[in-house]
Amino acid sequence: MTPSSVENVLWQRKSVRAYLDTPLPQEDVARILRAARQAPSGANLQPGKFHALTGAPLSALKQALDGAITDGRETVAEYSYFPQPMPADLKAKQRAAGYALYQALGIERRDFAGRKAQFDRNYRFFDAPVGIVVTIHPDMGKGCYMDLGMALMALFLAAEDLGYATSGIGALAKYADVTHTALDLPKDELVVCGIALGVEDKDAPVNNFRTERDSLEGFATLRGFEE
């Protein structure tokens, strides 16, 4: 069976952490956001909002985040992105991904300053020309977070299909209060994550890094197909 274009896009997509400064047309960003809203949604609640920023508004948010980091401000997360505590098998995956990323950048394991500098690039949206802040109503149930996740994946695939690169930025939720203030968000919008969107810098070593996925046997069972 010949792979569909959707399958090809899924296999070629990756998280990109270095971008060219090529501006994105507003119509392309709007097209990507409309595609994201086509994701499945239980009871058609369509949870989540997407605040797309470029130019001065994006610079203002990055400046506010940089100021919070420089001042050593306490992080304020409105929800837990990872399990607490992290099980040992998942912690091993997290560490392996981190080590591989830093290795691609030539950052040694004990180079804590280098690792922090790279992590802080999350708060600059990896210098992408477009940054998107994703929010959700705090009273939404866990199923609505799944629906929002499907919308995020739809956004990533739509961007990839148009020739753009993306990266999710879960770290943005750690400075939810700073983001709220900088964007003057309503109180009923909980900051879920950020998204970097733009044209990939193919010469950047960091973009040669890819995480490995579990084998089919590691996450799925197939029953009855042999009959």
What's the pTM value of the predicted model, to 2 decimals? Answer: 0.94
Closest C-alpha to 58, from 23, 30, 16: 23
Rg over alpha carbons for the chain, rounded to the nearest Å, is: 18
Confidence of residue 102 (pLDDT cuts 50, 70, 90): confident
171-218: pLDDT as tens digits:
999 999 999 999 999 999 999 999 999 999 999 999 998 899 999 999
Locate tokens 């890094």: which residue? 209
User: Do the Cβ atoms of 60 and 177 come closer than 8 Å?
Assistant: no
Say yes or no: domain 14-81+123-203 is CATH 3.40.109.10: yes
Confidence of residue 80 (pLDDT cuts 50, 70, 90): confident
135-156: pLDDT as tens digits:
999 999 999 999 999 999 999 9
Confidence of residue 3 (pLDDT cuts 50, 70, 90): low
Compute CA 39 distance to the chain's CA centroid, rounded to the nearest angstrom: 17
Helix (H, G, I), strand (E, B) or coil at 52: strand
Helix (H, G, I), strand (E, B) or coil at 89: helix
pLDDT for 151 equals 98
